Structure 1
């Protein structure tokens, strides 16, 4: 591999790793923003879990005005839910489709996002070292 190609590959790898890290941090910030929105105008309800997954769980709940809500994006922080389960949820009264499992907040997102960042760089750094070793040095 030529020095120029090795440099391009290294730059590309660093850009991809940095992008993944930035996206993980943005995920945490977005979760914090959603929590802030919910907490600034909070309503509570009991919801039924319609479907459960590790990344998305669908719920249905009724607000005090009698309207049934089934948020399109599901409930925030959906881990360890099962279909048919009844759970307490907290939602933004001004935006009832923004709903989270009661008692959970953005802290739930820190470990997974942090893990993504750590694994990304645990792969990136050795890859960069390998590229550096395989790249011939430029002679002056």
Structure 2
């Protein structure tokens, strides 16, 4: 697990980077509710193909359809490449990763992404995903939802 954190090894950095880890773990189970619970109540999800969802109530049915259809049995993976703690309660994370199709161990070029995560520490002391956006990485990448 320590190889996930790369150069971001302080306890605070690891706490912030727990947000992508929670999402990866929930996605691996294709657990819609657990994925959605990583987001703040008014979190945003922006993906290629004009996907723009605001709030858990919009994100949940979108992900349920994805897990029932094209991303059934898929997993996501990635590594942080940049981390900026902006305030005591806001941080920005940039990761490189993508979606692993069922049975795959390497990300195919069309499913590789660069992602930006805006995370926020809420009143309960837990970091949540306030905003997530990704874009295809590499030539020929055509990720569509």
Q: TM-score, normalised by structure 2?
A: 0.28
Higher relative contact order (CA 8 A, sep 6+): 1
Structure with greater helix percent: 1
Q: Which has the larger radius of gyration?
A: 1
Q: Which has the higher strand share?
A: 2
